[in-house]
Amino acid sequence: MEAQPSTPVLMFVAHRDVERRVMAALAEAGLDDITSAQSRLMQRLDPAGMRLTDLAEQARVTKQTAGALVDQLERAGYVMRRPDPSDARARLVTLSERGLTACSAAAAEVAEVEQEWRRHLGDTAYRGLRDALVALRAVTDPYR
């Protein structure tokens, strides 16, 4: 009998499948110039805008990596930088209209995946899975 992968690996496999589907949905919507690395950064972007240092920290990448990804996203029209109203020296990274469109397309695909998982697992098991993952956030996500 073959041993099952660990729980973290199983979570990773599920996550990667969702990521693949989201990227395909974005491409289908004509937003095929977003890379996986860029999309992971956009996932952490606060809709009200964030400083690059905070975005880098939440995405768990270096400030240089975040800066390069934001530069790419800005050139492609997904994000923009604007002055931080609380500090004239700082800039906030915010979503542009195109970025909002991309996030909307991604959210629609994620909702479809969640519906499929609910149908596959059944309501009770799906709720249990979701409740357990929400509870795990307390020990895994310092930015919850």
The pLDDT of residue 143 is: 74
Domains of the chain: 7-140 (1.10.10.10)
Q: Which amino acid is at 24?
A: A
Return the number of other C-beta atoms located less than 10 Å from residue 99's C-beta: 23
Please state whether the predicted TM-score (pTM) of the whole model is above 0.85. Answer: yes
Q: Give 23-62 pLDDT, tens digit per residue.
A: 999 999 999 999 999 999 999 999 889 999 999 999 999 9
Q: What is the pLDDT of residue 16?
A: 96
Q: For residue 5, what pLDDT is reported? A: 94
